[in-house]
Structure 1
Amino acid sequence: MSEPVWWPRAVAWIEANLDGRVRTGEIERVRERPWSTVATVPTTTGPVWFKANGPGLLYEAGLLRALGSLAPDRVITPLAVQVERGWSLLPDGGRTLRESAQDGLAAWERLLSEYAVLQRELVAHTPDFLGLGVPDLSPATLPGHLDRLLGEHELPEIAEQRPRLGELCAELGGSPVPLGLQHDDLHDANVLVDAQGRYRFFDWGDASIAHPFTTLLVSLRVAARRFELDQEAPEMLRLRDAYLEPWSDLGTPAELRRTLALTTKVGAISRALAWERALLGADESALAEWAEAVPGWLGELVNGPDLAARR
């Protein structure tokens, strides 16, 4: 991998922020994508991880610092962040849930339940997260985002459904569930299991302020593939209900399931926007490689059940 022009500055910043640790080997860039560069730093107390976000995801560094202060038992608290550059330096948090021996359905139920509890705990801090630059993808904003995307991508099937999609966004906007932070790419490879068996959520680069249930668009799809299950299988419904239970004071089971169905429909707009942010500033080869990401997610808007006919 060729060395980015900013890499020497990053190495100096890493060295200055190891918090008493001593580096024992070379800093290795282990992943380079248009949206981030990740490096591992061997030290006397174990590996430290460096992440440099691309221009569309700079807000993650400030968000990580805020989450480390607000929920230190549920996330990895960074050693240091450089907000303007989107840099973060984090201690090792253990193995991912996917890498662990406990990655079964029961672990996924716990993952989704604990994540929902975290979302509720963080609701009061939604204005602070917006102030950090976390994107506002509340239901009221989604039709405008969709109109802009349709102006940039020729997708006549979706354009035909635009009025109905607007109605679904409006219905979602009437949900009693408060807007809050949603991860948008939550699955077993973005959850760490530490030595005490605690789950810690990481990789918040796709996060937004939205209807909280939007997260499950990705989470339930990954789980269905992981366990080779249909979305309506009893095991999948238990995962859904494990997530919804912490919200049970805000609606009947039928109302919450309806709301979840809405978010997993119009949430495709959020996923398209996440990819758009991820590819901001990417070079031509990267844009060509990931060219279908944005229109591909928008295409999901015309797939699946007709929710307008289901109440």
Structure 2
Amino acid sequence: MSGSVSYDDHLLLVPSPARDAVLVQVDRSGERRWPTIRGDRGRELPELLADAGRLAGPHLVFLRSAGRAEVPIGDGDATARTAFLVHDALDVPLDDLPGPGGWAWCPLDDVATTLPPLPGALRGSFSRWVDELHGAPPPPQRPAWANPGGIAPFLAWLDAEVRATGATPEGEPEVLQQWGISLVVRQRTDRGVLFGKAVGAVFASEPAITRLLADDRPGTVPGVLAVDTERAWVLLDDARIRPIEGAQAAEGLRALARLQRAWIGRTDELRAVGCPDRGAATLADDLATSLADLDLAAELVPTRGLDAAERARLRALLPAFAALCRDAAADGLPLTLLHGDCHPGNTGVRDDGSVCLLDWSDAAVGHPFVDVDVWLSHATEDERPALRAAYLAEWPEVADGETALLRADVLCAAYQVVTSQRLLRALEEDERPGFAGGMSFWARRILDRYDVLVGEVSSRSS
């Protein structure tokens, strides 16, 4: 089946009010099946929730995504990916639900004999969900908003802080993102749009970091209207931006470089609000530790995992990587602010051409050039030379900026492997597949970027 296209299936997990049955669709022949949303790969959560509402009605209350099964389709690179969308109990008459066919409650004890079998990689997630319905405690890594009723304190705080600005909320907050890392909602008001964000424990310093950056360089990051540092909640003003694309992409990297330069010599201020130290001096040891979980990443998402030869080559590369880290630490560029995940999706541009950098979850103190290859991983080969030149133009004192940047590309990939591995271990089991694929991607990119660096150095010396 050559030419197959990747797609995602999302299965709705909705318990009955008594928490002893799961919602299922019933076709005209009486056959029962999992309520399923099928669509293109990579759709955003608001679109998925809108589809869920069209399928099963507006009373669904989303809690979290859980699990992932990914299998190849056809003879190319296409895959079919399946995950759960877990919801709170639904307490409305089934006759009130829309959608094709009918609806029923399938007793949990009858799922195995009544419904189509789940992919193997999802069975553990379903079993854990059933255990929680029967009274098992949720995993300690799960943030409050992903449990029934757990979002209420944040929404109450958000409403109060919105009103404290003098604005009046209009309508219910709209969920833009809800996963183990963060919860992001959009609140429309009589004075415009505001955004609330609750951050999970792994990135709990983000609100304080964002406030520091906003106070220091207004407009470069979204304006901060309120912060609860104890609970890692923040209320953000509307940055009034649109997606950055085309020729404007270079402006995004220039804005990043200018912000990094502004924080040279001020890293103690960043550390004081929770920015971790993630410089080249510690990256080699961090990478060596993280590589121990490459097997786990491959087990969670087999279609993306590194094979045995790739894993062996990575481990053999560790001494050379440590030497690269020493070279980077000695290249004269001072430690400064790192965004950690700077790409076009975390950047926007205003009508006046000014750039705003979003989402400071991964912020750290480190080598500035480590940020660049994340952006370049979203660009085409033809676009990358101009983007690299735009960034390096902001660092005129660097004598051989291209070599420094090629070296930092390898460090960037390692940095992302370490971040992915830490998330893999910090989040609950049902969320881990979402980061395993990223860990494998960046581990493979270490090899790719190292080969590019060696090839470039070799060509210059010949």
TM-score of the alignment, normalized to the shorter chain, above 0.5: yes
CA contact (8 A) 2:374 2:412 kept: no
One-letter amino acid of the counterpart of residue 315, structure 2: A
One-letter amino acid of the counterpart of residue 288, structure 1: P
Find the residue that maps to 2:220 and give its secondary structure. Answer: coil
Higher strand share: 2
Q: Which residue of 1 aligns with 2:325?
A: 169
One-letter amino acid of the counterpart of residue 6, structure 1: G
Q: Which residue of 2 aligns with 1:243?
A: 391
1:10 is matched with which residue: 154, 159, 165? 154
> When the two structures are superposed, what TM-score results if normalisation uses the length of structure 1?
0.88
Q: Which residue of 1 aligns with 2:404?
A: 259
Identity level (%): 27
Structure 1 stretch displaced more, 158-167 or 8-17? 8-17
CA contact (8 A) 2:420 2:436 kept: no
Q: Which residue of 2 aligns with 1:183?
A: 339
One-letter amino acid of the counterpart of residue 160, structure 2: A
Deviations 1:14-55 (A, max 9, x none): 122121111111112222122111111111111111111121
**Mapping of residues 148-297 of structure 1, within 5 Å:** 148-154=289-295, 155-224=311-380, 230=381, 233=382, 235-249=383-397, 251-252=398-399, 255-279=400-424, 281-297=426-442
Q: Residues 238 and 197 (structure 1 numbering): CA distance in 2 closer, same or farther, change over 3 Å? A: closer
Cα distance between partner residues in 2 of 1:151 and 1:189: 30
One-letter amino acid of the counterpart of residue 239, structure 1: L
Shift of 1:195: 4.7
Q: Residues 308 and 140 (structure 1 numbering): CA distance in 2 closer, same or farther, change over 3 Å? A: farther
Find the residue that maps to 2:436 and give its secondary structure. Answer: coil
Cα distance between partner residues in 1 of 2:230 and 2:290: 27
Cα distance between partner residues in 1 of 2:268 and 2:222: 22
One-letter amino acid of the counterpart of residue 410, structure 2: K
Cα distance between partner residues in 2 of 1:75 and 1:308: 37
Find the residue that maps to 1:17 and give its secondary structure. Answer: helix
Q: Determine which structure has greater relative contact order: mean sequence separation of CA pairs < 8 Å that are 6+ residues apart, divided by chain length.
A: 1
Shift of 1:273: 2.4
Larger radius of gyration: 2
Q: Residues 44 and 243 (structure 1 numbering): CA distance in 2 closer, same or farther, change over 3 Å? A: same
Higher helix share: 1
One-letter amino acid of the counterpart of residue 150, structure 2: W
The root-mean-square deviation of aligned C-alpha atoms, in Å, is: 2.0
Cα distance between partner residues in 1 of 2:318 and 2:422: 22
1:104 is matched with which residue: 246, 262, 267? 246
**Mapping of residues 7-46 of structure 1, within 5 Å:** 7-18=151-162, 19-46=165-192
CA contact (8 A) 1:59 1:86 kept: yes
Q: Which residue of 1 aligns with 2:264?
A: 123
Shift of 1:306: 5.5
One-letter amino acid of the counterpart of residue 112, structure 1: L
Give ranges in structure 2 of 5+ residues lacking alignment. Answer: 1-61, 64-87, 89-144, 296-310
CA contact (8 A) 1:57 1:278 kept: no
One-letter amino acid of the counterpart of residue 153, structure 2: R
Q: How many residues align?
A: 295
Give ranges in structure 1 of 5+ residues lacking alignment. Answer: 225-229
